[in-house]
Amino acid sequence: ERNIKLEEKITMLQQQNEELRARIEQNTVITRQLSEENANLQEYVEKEVEEKKKLSRTNEELLWKLQEGDAVSPVKLPPTSPTSFYRCSSGNSSPAKVRTLRR
């Protein structure tokens, strides 16, 4: 009778062992998938960071060019009085064709 109980316990432990091995295998598959997804996300983040840096540099360059353009412009236009401008007779509204009214 003692042998029967021990054999039943062995059978139960073998089943638990198989279940645990299956869970380990399943967890290994999930771990691989998550590692791949993590690597893809890290690559995506790195690309986004580089794009953000590039856009920031472009923005700074454009702001610098805008400020430099204002500094070398022969005619400075007052930013708060849009009514003091006349358009050229061509009717073109580009900023290069706008003159300041002198009083």
pLDDT tens digits, 2-43: 999 999 999 999 999 999 999 999 999 999 999 999 999 999
Please, what's the b/e burial string for 40-55 (b: 16 or more CB within 10 A of its CB; e: otherwise)? eeeeeeeeeeeeeeee
pLDDT at 100 over 60: no
pLDDT higher for 26 or 96? 26
pLDDT at 79: 60
**Span 67-93, mean pLDDT?**
56
DSSP for residue 93: -
| Alpha-carbon distances of 11 from 4, 16, 17, 20, 63, rounded to whole Å | 10, 9, 10, 14, 77
Average per-residue pLDDT for the chain:
81
What is the greatest pairwise CA distance in the chain?
Answer: 119
In the block, residue with structure tokens 């690559």: 43
